[in-house]
Amino acid sequence: MSRSAQRVVGTVVLVVLGMLSLPASAYVLDDPGTENWIVPVQLFVMVVLGAAVTIGLPGMAREGASTGRRALTGAWWGLLAAFVGVVVFWFLLNGLRGA
């Protein structure tokens, strides 16, 4: 698979995971006493998923990057995808005028 195809596939996967990670975290942790852990767990999960996707698809990082460098790059991609996913999910739920 070419580097550009890997970037497209990785970006789409991470944005979809970013959209689903917050509702999934809220579903699991929405109990008294654990509701404050929803966002930190979502961000941690997205860091791990971003690192895993970027290690699996080396085209998401610079050419010739080591595995550690790809994991670090993937962690940042995961955080960016979490932010983009929450924004997209917000607009899908609330529209352009907001809640």
Kindly indicate the confidence band of residue 82, based on its pLDDT and cuts at 50, 70 and 90.
very high
pLDDT digits (tens, 9 = 90+) for 2-57: 899 999 999 999 999 998 998 899 899 988 888 889 889 999 999 999 999 999 99
How far is Cα 80 from Cα 75, in angstroms, rounded to an integer?
A: 9
Taking the C-alpha atoms of residue 52 and residue 45, their distance in angstroms, rounded to an integer, is: 10
**What pTM does this model have?**
0.86
Q: How confident is the model at residue 1 (pLDDT cuts 50, 70, 90)?
A: confident
Within 13 Å and on the Cβ side, how many CA atoms surround 45? 20
- Quote the tokens at residue 89: 């999910």
